[in-house]
């Protein structure tokens, strides 16, 4: 192996402080559902997305002609245009629009990556996994896969996705990180039936309790339906 | 299932704040090597072990007739009686003695479990896994398996052990925690060849770089060689 690029996995935003992300590419992962929905939004033709910390802050952007989207505890926040289901972001009326977006976990992870000095911040999901991996192969920087988790706890679905990326890239990167080894092992074991283990996860159970569209889970496990890469430019996510 | 006891896994001391450990049994895990060495010490006949935060604090106890043991960054600290290799704790001259002990990760996890209000704090390793599991089955409290990690990062060997415990106990506990599901999956996949994956881990590589006894890894993966359970009573670990 002639590379000197490394790939690491961070299982929770609360652990990012123990990894050095400076001058690296941080890949933000929130499979259920923020980063999946962001990929869908750009596929629909959304112009830009502003990740914001709170619903209160998000609401302000309504005045400036943004579509406002907010989710807390897996539910759409009342009086917002959109929640966090990927199906909502397929609406063709969103083409050309700007969206202000806040979610329980995903938008927080994006902000944290920025504060910790990442060189580039990109958005990943199963929906754009191959596009992401090809792009990462052609960059010069090391890679940190940041799982958004659930309220700073480890979660299954983000970790599985991180494992899928490690599996695709390991021949071209230095893998010297226990989380990356564990994530790859987890994904390898469940690759042929991701939905089964994800349905055991706390997040899927949460969806069920809330009588949310459980179709969201199947939707977010599709591969390569949105061949594009959202990247943070200044404050905005845009399609690269 | 008629139980209402749950079992959770915490992959790093930095994540304990997001789990409720109050009134639960916290099982502290530092396979390489603090909790393995503690099990060995009690098997040797050590009377009690005082976990302390720093080598400076540890050194004070020399005056009070303690044996002093200190490890930092996988190395024995200079001028201490013992480091953190389980072989050192097999010395029969330790029988009846009290030890003051500080390590990079393990003793910190013990202190954190106490600060977070655990009902009982016990010490686990592969060396006492069946004894631990049988005891946990007979308690009334829910269980939190706390991995010491490496400097607050996730590590493979503690997570594998947590998975082994979940696998033994899952029929008798509620498993509603993504970390527990992932740990179990990881252990199931590597159960027949733990040493292989652990030798890939950052900690094993660290040992190799430092030319430490790599026998420590094989030693710490033995099962049920010390059928006993260390428990924290006030400030001291004692044999239950």
Each residue's pLDDT tens digit, A220-229: 999 999 999 9
Contact between A49 and A183 under an 8 Å Cβ cutoff? The reply is no
Residues 6+ positions from B233 with CB-CB distance below 8 Å:
none
pLDDT at A203: 77
Identify which of B152, B156, B202 has the shortest CB distance to residue A18: B152
- Continuous H helices in chain B: 34-44, 55-60, 106-115, 129-137, 156-169, 178-190, 194-200, 202-209, 215-220
CB atoms within 10 A of CB B95: 11
Please determine, for residue A1, whether its predicted confidence score (pLDDT) is greater than 60. Answer: no
Nearest by CB to B154, which of A152, A182, A200? A182
User: Burial level of A15, CB count in 10 A (0-12/13-18/19+)?
Assistant: buried
| CB-count exposure of residue A145 (10 Å: 0-12, 13-18, 19+) | buried
Domains and CATH numbers, chain A: 7-239 (3.90.1560.10)
The per-residue pLDDT for range B18-64, each reduced to its tens digit, is 999 999 999 999 999 999 999 999 999 999 999 999 999 999 999 99
C-alpha gyration radius of chain A: 17
Report the residue of A12, A112, A146, A178 to disrupt the B interface, i.e. the one with the largest count of B CBs within 10 Å.
Answer: A178
Nearest-CA distance from B240 to chain A in Å?
A: 32
Q: What is the pLDDT of residue A86?
A: 95
ipTM of the shown complex: 0.93
- The alpha-carbon gap from B63 to the nearest alpha carbon of chain A, in Å, equals 36
Would you call B176 an interface residue with chain A, using a CB distance cutoff of 8 Å?
yes
Of A134, A129, A171, the closest CA to residue A29 belongs to A129
Instruction: Please state the pTM of the whole predicted model.
Output: 0.94
Mean pLDDT of A18-45: 96
DSSP string of A88-145?
GGG-GGGTT-EEEEE-SSHHHHHHHHHHTT-SEEEEE-GGGHHHHHHHHHT-SS-EEE
Nearest to A154 among B11, B188, B190 (CB): B11
**Tens of pLDDT, residues A65-90:** 999 999 998 889 999 999 999 999 99
- Going by C-alpha positions, the residue among A221, A207, A169 that lies closest to residue A71 is A207
- Per-residue tokens: A125: 């999901």
Q: CB contact, 8 Å: A19 with chain B?
A: yes
Strand pairing report for B7-10 and A120-124: unpaired
- Indicate the range of A111-120, B8-17, B194-203, B215-224 predicted with least confidence: B194-203
Across the strands, what pairs with A28? A123, A146
B201 contacts: CB under 8 Å, gap ≥ 6: A178, A181, B155, B156, B157
B180: chain A residues, CB-CB within 8 Å = none
CB contact under 8 A, A202 and B178: yes
Tokens of B122: 């016990």
Contact B202 A178 (CB under 8 A): yes
B181 to A153: CB separation less than 8 angstroms, yes or no: no
Query: Shortest CB distance from B156 goes to which of A181, A203, A205?
Result: A181
pLDDT in tens, A124-141: 999 999 999 999 999 999
Residues in chain A with CB shorter than 8 Å from the CB of B18 are 14, 151-153
Task: Calculate mean pLDDT across residues B167-173.
Answer: 97
Question: How high is the pLDDT of residue A238?
Answer: 98
């Amino acid at each position: 192996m002639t590379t000197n690029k490394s790939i690491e996995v961070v299982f929770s935003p609360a652990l990012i402080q123990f990894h050095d992300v400076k001058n690296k590419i941080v890949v933000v992962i929130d499979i259920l559902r923020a980063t999946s929905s962001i990929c869908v939004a750009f596929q629909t033709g959304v112009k830009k997305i502003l990740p914001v910390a709170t619903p209160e802050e998000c609401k302000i952007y309504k005045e400036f002609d943004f579509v406002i989207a907010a989710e807390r505890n897996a539910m759409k926040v009342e009086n917002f245009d959109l929640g966090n289901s990927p199906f909502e972001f397929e609406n063709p009326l969103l083409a050309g629009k700007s969206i202000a977006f806040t979610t329980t976990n995903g938008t927080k992870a994006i902000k944290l990556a920025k504060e910790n000095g990442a060189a580039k911040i990109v958005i990943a999901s199963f929906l754009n996994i191959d596009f992401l991996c090809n792009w990462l192969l052609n960059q010069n920087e090391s890679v940190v896969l940041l799982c958004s988790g659930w309220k700073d706890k480890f979660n299954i679905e983000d970790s599985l996705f991180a494992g899928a990326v490690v599996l695709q890239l390991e021949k071209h990167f230095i893998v010297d990180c226990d989380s990356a080894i564990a994530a790859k092992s987890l994904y390898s074991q469940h690759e042929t039936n991701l939905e089964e283990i994800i349905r055991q996860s706390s997040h899927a159970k949460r969806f069920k309790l809330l009588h949310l569209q459980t179709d969201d889970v199947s939707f977010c496990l599709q591969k390569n339906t949105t061949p594009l890469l959202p990247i943070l430019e200044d404050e905005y996510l845009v399609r690269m």
